[in-house]
Chains A and B, each alone.
Chain A
Amino acid sequence: MLLFRSEEMVDGWCAANNVPKRPLVSLEQLWVLAKEWYSDRLTIHSRRPKPDEMVEIFGRIGLTGSFWDPTADTWGNPECS
């Protein structure tokens, strides 16, 4: 996950590293994700969003499609398995 000054810089990085270009995330979208993931992280009830919650959060800010679908993910959180 890298930050770029512009989309042109993303294009340059993808070409230089032979990496397919993925959907871009704006700072406004990134701030929503940061708040959703971390605003309660220092509290007793903090946890990562579950996969279905992640899909809802991504969709709410326009990040849709298979790239943003974590449901193939398998993780060790008993609440999510």
Chain B
Amino acid sequence: MFVTPIKLAIYDTFAKTAQAPTVVDIATKLNVPVTDVQNAFDELHKQRLLVPEPGDETRIRMAPPFSGIGTPFRVTVHGRIYFAPCAWDAFGIAAALHTDAVIHTKDGHSGEAMTLEVKKGKPVPAPYVVHIAVPAAKWWDDIIYT
């Protein structure tokens, strides 16, 4: 199946624009049939590299570590603003792009503003913690909630 070039095109678009491409965007970019791209989206979903927008499988909710919609995890890299689905993926954007990043987010309980930073290939120390409510075996039962 024509999956790998489409996977690369999705991630290239996210990396360069911070926006999620649609099925039509990728079909146009690669000059291939829309049906082929939709099939690849479905396959990438099975591989857990992509989550379609609920109710519209032609759009991407997330291609981890990137989010296709605004989230409480705003990641700034060289002036470009990305959104991540969660704290893990916020660090993941810095890891995927191999660059420093500043992450603006908020405390999960109080809502107080928080800032994380990745500098020279590692996180700036802070006493913050992540709590994952769902066991690993269940993460993909509802990955948007997780």
Binding site for B on A (CB under 8 A): 1-7, 9-10, 12-14, 16, 19-22, 24-28, 30-31, 33-35, 37-39, 41-42, 44, 46-48, 54, 58, 66-73, 75-77
Residues of chain B within 8 A (CB-CB) of A41 are: 11, 64-65, 92, 95-96
Contact (Cβ within 8 A) A10 B137: no
How many chain B residues sit at the interface, stated as a range, is 35 or more
Binding site for A on B (CB under 8 A): 4, 7-8, 11-12, 15, 45-49, 64-65, 86-89, 91-98, 105, 107-110, 112, 114, 116, 118, 122-123, 125-140, 146
A3-B128, A69-B136 known; A33-B48 Cβ under 8 A:
no
Q: How near does chain B come to A45, taking the closest CB pair, in angstroms?
A: 9
Q: How near does chain A come to B16, taking the closest CB pair, in angstroms?
A: 10
> Which of B87, B133, B135 contacts A3, CB < 8 Å?
B87
A31-B122, A72-B137 known; A5-B130 Cβ under 8 A:
no
Instruction: Give Cα distance in the complex from A46 to B64, angstroms.
Output: 12
> Which of B47, B95, B146 contacts A34, CB < 8 Å?
B95
B91, B114, B129, B139 pick with most chain A CB within 10 angstroms: B129
Query: From B131, which residue of chain A is reached at the shortest CB distance?
Result: A10
Contact (Cβ within 8 A) B65 A38: yes
Q: How near does chain A come to B68, taking the closest CB pair, in angstroms?
A: 15
Residues of chain A within 8 A (CB-CB) of B89 are: 34, 38
Residues of chain A within 8 A (CB-CB) of B64 are: 37-38, 41
Query: From A76, which residue of chain B is reached at the shortest CB distance?
Result: B46
Contact (Cβ within 8 A) A5 B7: no
- 5 smallest A-B Cβ distances: which pairs? A2-B108, A76-B46, A34-B91, A38-B92, A13-B109
Contact (Cβ within 8 A) A3 B95: no
> Which of A3, A35, A58 contacts B108, CB < 8 Å?
A3
> Which of B130, B137, B138 contacts A4, CB < 8 Å?
B130
A33-B88, A68-B136, A70-B139 known; A48-B48 Cβ under 8 A:
yes
Contact (Cβ within 8 A) B94 A25: no
